[in-house]
Amino acid sequence: MNGIDFFKRLLGSPASGADQHGRLLQAASSMRTLVVDDSPTIRAVLGKMLGQEGYVVQKAADGESALELAKAEQPELIFLDIVLPGVNGFHVLRTLRHDPLTQHIPIVMISGNQQATEQFYVQRFGADDFIKKPFGQRDVQRAIDQLVRAGRLPARVPAPVVAAPEVVVTPYEEIRSTLSGMAA
């Protein structure tokens, strides 16, 4: 995300990426995601939001588990809470960014903690985006849309349009003569 887009989001302007109908781009279906949050509720809700979009979701409750899963499973996108038990989200982010196996993975930081949020904006630790709690499905979709538009995630290919089979209407007289011929 470039600096202008970052400040537009920070100031609350609408997502510039949405088309005139408000549709946002989706990442490739079956995209592997990792949700890292110490709240079981956030893990469940965010996991459900992502699952409804067709993404495969793994979850971690702390930073250590997140690092292990990220290295072992290579998710295509990570949603990472800042305030975690043990190592915090900033430490996880720095560790992932310094590891050649994980440095390419887009990371969206999430937090409801005002102090952590301010710290994130001041230091901008190398995350791709930030979502403030509480958030809704549209916020998650916007973050994914921006990552797709920035080329950080592959776009979902629209399902091919299947043409309806051609229906041939036979005139009534043809049917009657065919049936008459069959009866003879």
What does the pLDDT look like over 140-169, one tens digit per residue? 999 999 999 999 999 998 766 666 666 665
Mean pLDDT of 96-106: 96
Domain boundaries, position 125: 3-149
Considering the domain boundaries, does residue 172 fall inside one? no
Do the beta carbons of residue 28 and residue 54 sit within 8 Å?
A: no
Total count of domains within the chain: 1
- What's this model's pTM, rounded to 2 decimal places? 0.74
Residues 6+ apart with CB under 8 A from 25: 17, 144, 145, 148, 149, 155, 156
User: 82-91, 95-104, 156-165: lowest mean pLDDT where?
Assistant: 156-165
Considering the domain boundaries, does residue 165 fall inside one? no
At 37-80, the pLDDT tens digits run 999 999 999 999 999 999 999 999 999 999 999 999 999 999 99
Return the structure tokens found at 38. Answer: 């110490």
Share of the chain above pLDDT 70, in %: 68
